[in-house]
């Protein structure tokens, strides 16, 4: 974890698994990143880079071989994500601007998202996988 600025908060938890890599880099102020990787399979990867003020990422990975790469540039961007329970769900994502919001849910296997938000006050909800 690398933090430059004031009031930045980062949490990284890896439970019940092995070979997980979680990284957080924050520059600016009042940024928050919470990463949790859990499951018995392991080999999950997540990286978050935040530049600006008041950006927020909450990401939970369950299962194995999930990958997330998140970049937030600007102010007040929010990302909530869940990669779950199966394998091979890559999520590269970036937010550039102010006030953008994104919620991602992936369940099942073999899902992939490449998604970006540029500008201000954009929002999106993305769901992939079997629906209950």
**Reported confidence tier of residue 111, pLDDT bands at 50, 70, 90:** confident
**Reported confidence tier of residue 12, pLDDT bands at 50, 70, 90:** confident
52-107 pLDDT, tens digit each: 999 999 888 877 778 888 889 999 988 887 776 555 666 667 788 888 888 887 77
8-state DSSP, 43: -
pLDDT at site 98? 86
Angstrom distances, CA of residue 51 to CA of 4, 17, 41, 44, 106: 10, 30, 32, 24, 26
Task: Tell which residue, 86, 84, 55, has the closest CA to residue 70.
Answer: 55
Strand partners, 94: 71, 116
- Higher-confidence residue of 64 and 3: namely 3
Domain boundaries, the chain: 2-117
Find the mean pLDDT for residues 21-36: 92
**Reported confidence tier of residue 32, pLDDT bands at 50, 70, 90:** very high
Q: What whole-number distance in Å separates Cα of residue 93 and Cα of residue 57?
A: 11
Length of the chain: 132
Angstrom distances, CA of residue 15 to CA of 39, 65, 67, 96, 105: 7, 14, 16, 31, 20
pLDDT at site 104? 81
């Amino acid at each position: 974890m690398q933090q430059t600025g004031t009031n930045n908060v980062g949490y990284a938890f890896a439970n019940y698994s092995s070979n997980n890599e979680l990284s957080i880099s924050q520059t600016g102020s009042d940024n928050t990143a919470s990463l949790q990787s859990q499951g018995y399979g392991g080999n999950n990867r997540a990286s978050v880079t935040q530049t600006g003020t008041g950006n927020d990422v909450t990401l939970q990975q369950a299962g194995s071989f999930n990958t997330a790469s998140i970049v937030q540039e600007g102010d007040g961007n929010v990302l909530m994500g869940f990669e779950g329970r199966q394998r091979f769900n890559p999520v590269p994502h970036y937010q550039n601007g102010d006030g953008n919001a994104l919620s991602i849910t992936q369940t099942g296997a073999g899902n992939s998202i490449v998604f970006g938000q540029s500008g201000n006050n954009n929002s999106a909800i993305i769901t992939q996988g079997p629906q209950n």
